[in-house]
């Protein structure tokens, strides 16, 4: 891969020119951002509905999940599950080939038996920290593979989940402090974005490793290339893409003479259809999406603004445009639409009980309980229904992103936030850490993940899309082409920073749930135009704190 010095044209060059002292202030800046954005903020907004909280279901507890196409958050993972670790396997999934024929300029992932990795010198223990998904079987499989590999190589291992490592604190702050103290884990498996981690100087350059993987699996998705290649180097290794978007129960819609795959062409038609198919007596609710302060709530607000034509910053990622024309009018129109959805009595019936107080697992639980006909979420929700043989799995489809309404209406979509490997700065066992990565990127490991996490785990690169678990398995074959369409969309939607690549300042906004905080003021009675103007100014301050122009 050619190395190009593009600093003169790179909007992130300002980050590279920040002093070391300012970089190390990031932890304190991130904490201060919350205060800046909350300054002069009204009291907590009332709930958009007055319905009591929904009863908990028996769905398994898990980490908060948000739909892809959003910047990673540092919200703490949920309580560990008690599901036993899945037995490691080196055999391919039934009906799958261990190593599909390579296409293009890549060989395909190696078979596990062909790795023949030399034993690395271990300094202390090989330390691996793993994020937890809303899919206990998937989590258990990854954990078991790591432990089996360490045992095979006779490596002393310290494996933990992110909630055990960071507790209820901020994950990025915890990692930053650990790197500065010389006590960071060797390998982090997480959906965090590389921009903020590179800005902090707490992850290693993994260009050589990524280059090896690309020889096997081909190039990254364009959106991932934009995210992970910073300063002409790679600062993380995507493991797999994570499907997500709008999920629908087609039988419920078709009973109302609505074809969800054809008729839900924009947000207004989507809302009207969700209202029409609602039947509280069953109960079956149409609008299974919250605007409460959470990752899922942020997705609800963020997607609407962008689909209406709005955005937060310009294409450099340095200048805030929330309250600048033409984006101002689009942002205001989208927020007015959402205000109508959550406060107009016309749409009250389609809102599930307690949706105003939902967290990141609430829609998963309601979906698995058979109470929702439409929602937006990561593919873990669907994969969990498949592995648990929940009957909703037989009546679920994934839909592409829906278009907004009005003059700026558009469709933006992309592969979202993948699951990634990060080698932490100062790792004492860098070679062994990459060996763990290699062990989780064999043909057999992918075949097992595609099977265990049907409809959720997908390739992050060119390889794998034609493998039988994705194209022939009953619960994957109808999801795969839709996710591939979203994955390959030319807009390569970046989330909050779009159309720029994710930046530390945009990551900071997401980490403070600014989308739902902004919308919460509107639900609390503040005028929409005034809310947009005030938040524009707050975001300018945040961007400046990170060395961006802001305005």
Q: How does DSSP assign 311-331, residue by residue?
A: -SB-TTSSBB-TTSTTHHHHH
Look at residues 98, 212, 78, 44 and name the one whose alpha carbon lies nearest to residue 469: 98
Rounded to 5°, the CA angle 527-530-533 comes to 150
pLDDT number for residue 168:
63
**pLDDT tens digit at each of 551 positions of the chain:** 222 222 223 333 333 334 444 444 444 444 444 444 544 443 333 333 333 333 333 333 333 344 334 333 333 333 333 333 343 433 333 333 334 444 568 999 999 999 999 999 999 999 999 998 888 999 999 999 999 999 999 999 999 999 877 766 788 889 999 999 999 999 999 999 899 899 999 999 999 999 999 999 999 999 999 999 999 999 999 999 999 999 999 999 999 999 999 999 999 999 999 999 999 999 999 999 999 999 899 999 999 999 999 999 999 999 999 999 999 999 999 999 999 999 999 999 999 999 999 998 899 999 999 999 999 999 999 999 999 999 999 999 999 999 999 999 999 999 999 999 999 999 999 999 999 999 999 999 999 999 999 999 999 999 999 999 999 999 999 999 999 999 999 999 989 999 999 999 998 898 889 999 999 999 999 999 999 999 999 999 999 999 999 99
DSSP letter for 242, please.
E
Q: If you search the block for the tokens 């739909």, which residue do you land on?
A: 67
Tokens of 483: 């996710």
Q: If you search the block for the tokens 């087609």, which residue do you land on?
A: 250
- CA distance readout (Å), 351 to 249, 264, 300, 364: 16, 18, 14, 15
Residue 406's region, left for phi above 0, alpha for psi from -120 to 50, else beta, is: left
Rounded to 5°, the CA angle 120-121-123 comes to 130
Tokens of 225: 């290339």
Based on its alpha-carbon atoms, the radius of gyration of the chain, rounded to whole angstroms, reads 22
DSSP letter for 446, please.
H
pLDDT number for residue 510:
86
Tokens of 239: 């493991």
Cβ-Cβ contacts under 8 Å for 279 (sequence gap 6 or more): none
Tokens of 251: 């039988």
- CA distance readout (Å), 428 to 171, 218, 273, 435, 473: 20, 29, 56, 14, 42
- Domains located in the chain, CATH noted: 244-414+493-545 (3.40.190.10)
Query: What is the spatial distance between Cα 31 and Cα 35, in angstroms, rounded to a whole number?
Result: 7
State the alpha helices, DSSP H only, in 397-550.
430-439, 443-452, 468-471, 480-487, 504-511, 514-523, 528-545
Order of all β-strands in the sheet with 187-190: 157-161, 126-130, 187-190, 419-423, 237-242, 457-458
Query: What is the spatial distance between Cα 493 and Cα 486, in angstroms, rounded to a whole number?
Result: 10
pLDDT number for residue 462:
96
């Amino acid at each position: 891969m050619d190395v190009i010095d593009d600093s003169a044209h790179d909007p992130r060059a300002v980050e590279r020119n920040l002093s070391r002292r300012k970089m190390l202030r990031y932890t304190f800046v991130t904490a201060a951002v919350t205060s800046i954005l909350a300054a002069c903020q009204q009291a907590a907004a009332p709930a958009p509905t007055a319905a009591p909280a929904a009863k908990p279901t028996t769905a398994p507890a898990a980490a908060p999940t948000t739909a892809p196409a959003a910047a990673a958050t540092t919200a703490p993972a949920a309580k560990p599950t008690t599901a036993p670790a899945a037995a490691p396997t080196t055999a391919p999934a039934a009906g799958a080939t261990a190593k599909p024929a390579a296409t293009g300029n890549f060989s395909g992932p190696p078979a596990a038996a062909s790795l023949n990795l030399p034993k690395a010198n271990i300094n202390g223990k090989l330390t691996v920290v793993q994020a937890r998904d809303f899919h206990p079987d998937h989590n258990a499989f990854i954990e078991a593979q790591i432990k089996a590999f360490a045992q095979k190589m006779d490596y002393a291992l310290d494996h933990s989940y992110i909630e055990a490592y960071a507790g209820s604190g901020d994950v990025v702050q915890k990692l930053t402090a650990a790197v500065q103290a010389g006590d960071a884990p060797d390998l982090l498996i997480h959906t965090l974005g590389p921009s903020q981690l590179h800005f902090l100087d707490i992850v290693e350059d993994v260009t050589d490793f990524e280059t090896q993987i690309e020889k096997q699996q081909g190039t990254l998705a364009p959106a991932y290339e934009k995210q992970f290649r910073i300063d002409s180097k790679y600062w993380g290794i995507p493991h797999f893409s994570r499907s997500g978007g709008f999920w629908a129960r087609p039988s419920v819609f078709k009973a109302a003479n609505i074809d969800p795959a054809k008729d839900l062409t924009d947000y207004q038609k989507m809302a009207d259809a969700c209202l029409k198919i609602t039947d509280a007596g069953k109960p079956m609710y149409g609008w299974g999406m919250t605007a409460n302060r959470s990752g899922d709530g942020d997705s609800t607000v963020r997607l609407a603004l962008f689909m209406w034509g709005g955005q937060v910053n310009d294409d450099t990622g340095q200048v805030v445009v929330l309250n600048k024309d033409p984006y101002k009018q689009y942002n205001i129109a989208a927020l007015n639409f959402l205000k109508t959805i959550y406060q107009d009595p016309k749409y009250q019936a389609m809102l599930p009980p307690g949706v105003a107080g939902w967290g990141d697992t609430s829609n998963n639980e309601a979906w698995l309980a058979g109470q929702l006909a439409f929602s937006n979420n990561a593919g873990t929700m669907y994969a969990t229904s498949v592995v648990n043989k929940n009957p909703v799995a037989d009546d679920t489809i994934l839909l592409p992103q829906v278009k907004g309404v009005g003059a700026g209406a558009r469709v933006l979509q992309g592969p979202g936030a993948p699951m990634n490997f990060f080698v932490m700065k100062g790792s004492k066992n860098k070679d062994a850490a990459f060996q763990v990565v290699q062990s989780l990127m064999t043909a057999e490991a992918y075949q097992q993940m595609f099977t265990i996490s049907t409809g959720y785990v997908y390739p992050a690169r060119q390889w794998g899309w034609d493998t039988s678990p994705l194209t022939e398995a009953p619960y994957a074959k109808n999801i795969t082409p839709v996710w591939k369409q979203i994955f390959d969309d030319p807009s390569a939607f970046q989330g909050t920073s779009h159309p720029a690549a994710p930046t530390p300042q945009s990551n900071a906004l997401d980490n403070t749930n600014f989308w739902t905080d902004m919308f919460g003021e509107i639900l609390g009675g503040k005028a929409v135009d005034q809310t947009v103007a005030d938040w524009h100014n707050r975001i300018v301050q945040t961007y400046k704190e990170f060395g961006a122009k802001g305005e």
